[in-house]
Structure 1
Amino acid sequence: MRSWVPVPGSTKALLVQEALAAFGARGYEAVGVTELATSAGVTIGSLYHHFGSKAGLYDVVRTDVERRVLDRMEGAAAVRDTREPGGLAAVLLVGYDYLVGSGFARLLAEPRPDEIGGADPSGSSSDPIAVFLADTADADEAPIGSLLLAAWRQALAEASARLQAGGDAASVRRALAAVLGDRAGIGASA
């Protein structure tokens, strides 16, 4: 849970709002501090004052979105038996639908910048989604969670690219559902 809630209209809130939109649509590397500050109507110095760096702002935004999607996925897991066919698929599709519908698909499609090239490619030590999937899906030391996470992140990246190009993500969702074994449409979005 966030230790702070930005005051609406404050410099900090404006920066977070712009970062959610920019990082959510285009990812970390494609977004610059000048763009963020200009879009928020604040100075670059304000960004550095409140967040220390672009990475600091990204971390705040990424952590917030991870918590939002994890809350939804945990809720879905609480009402579905994730050991039965379609159960885990429904959980992952709930997360996918939320991220695509909210415009945050690209944000969670990519690894955190501090994890790129790290010793643990799954990011399980600091990635709450990876930890959740490992706890929920792994069995007999089989890395089911990390494999599902890779497919889920790739679907998010593909959906984001299609939406950025003016298309839609419906076929990506169907493909993800098929990969997850949800051919019957369990977990179909509303």
Structure 2
Amino acid sequence: MREWVPVSTSPRGRLALAAVEAFGTRPFAEVTVTELAAAAQVTTGALYHHFGSKLGLYAVAREDVERRLLDRMEGAMAAAGGSASSRSAAVTSALLVGLDFAVREGFLYILGDPPAGTEHDRLAETLSQNFAPAAPLLGRVLAAAWRAALTAVAAGEDPAQARAALAALRIQPPDEA
């Protein structure tokens, strides 16, 4: 499991850390360039120099947070084993491990939305690849359910209720339908 730790003394590193915190706890539209620069103790020019735009900084922060999420989810699926009978349990375990991580770290908003500006959804792909053959639509549906649980927690729902909702999903792989 990798943990990306930028050099917090560099302007780029401070901006990245400020972005992870701000975009994790608030919607993208509510976070301003000025506040990100102030939190990192840099000018807005430094943000544009290092990342091109607020969206560029968001993309770097999201990439980092999503990689940490997927490392944990992949580990949970691997621990559950690879037999056909354990695939459903492995995916459920991954969904719960991912939810716990996102809630604990305060990444509700940055992970609660689908990736912006791309069709490439690594969460959906990771979930679908646990099935043989891979089930892309199932992966997208499960990713949407997981993100809905995060969105509910961000809106004030009890994380235990979101966890129970994900645990209640009955996942039947396509080859067993």
TM-score range, shorter chain: 0.7 to 0.9
Match of 1:102 among 92, 105, 112: 105
- Tell me the secondary structure at the aligned position of residue 86 of structure 1: helix
- Tell me the secondary structure at the aligned position of residue 7 of structure 1: coil
- What's the TM-score once normalised by structure 1's chain length? 0.78
Which residue is 1:22 aligned to?
22
AA aligned opposite 1:175 = A
Q: Does 1:175 pair with 2:165?
A: yes
Q: Is the 8 A contact 2:124 2:142 kept in 1?
A: no
Q: Is the 8 A contact 2:124 2:136 kept in 1?
A: no
Alpha-carbon deviations, 1:109-140, whole Å to 9, x = none?
1022314xxxxxxx3xx221121112114758
- % identical aligned pairs: 47
Cα distance change on mapping 1:142 and 1:131 into 2, 3 Å? closer
Q: Does 1:86 pair with 2:89?
A: yes
- Tell me the secondary structure at the aligned position of residue 74 of structure 1: helix
Match of 1:158 among 139, 152, 155: 152
- Tell me the secondary structure at the aligned position of residue 29 of structure 2: coil
Q: Is the 8 A contact 2:95 2:166 kept in 1?
A: no
AA aligned opposite 1:128 = R
> Which is helix-richer, 1 or 2?
2
- The separation in 2 between residues aligned to 1:172 and 1:156, in whole angstroms, is 7
Offset of residue 141 of structure 1: 5.5
Cα distance change on mapping 1:32 and 1:81 into 2, 3 Å? same
Q: Is the 8 A contact 2:125 2:136 kept in 1?
A: no
Cα distance change on mapping 1:141 and 1:38 into 2, 3 Å? closer
Q: Is the 8 A contact 1:80 1:87 kept in 2?
A: yes
Q: Is the 8 A contact 1:33 1:44 kept in 2?
A: yes
Offset of residue 56 of structure 1: 0.8
Alpha-carbon deviations, 1:150-187, whole Å to 9, x = none?
1001001111222xxxx642222112211356xxxxxx
RMSD (Å) for aligned C-alpha atoms: 2.4
Offset of residue 81 of structure 1: 3.4
In the alignment, structure 2 segments of 5+ residues that lack a partner are: 172-177
- Tell me the secondary structure at the aligned position of residue 9 of structure 2: coil
In the alignment, structure 1 segments of 5+ residues that lack a partner are: 116-122, 182-190
Q: Which has the higher contact order (CA 8 A, sep 6+)?
A: 1
Offset of residue 27 of structure 1: 2.6
Q: Is the 8 A contact 1:28 1:113 kept in 2?
A: no
Q: Is the 8 A contact 1:137 1:144 kept in 2?
A: no
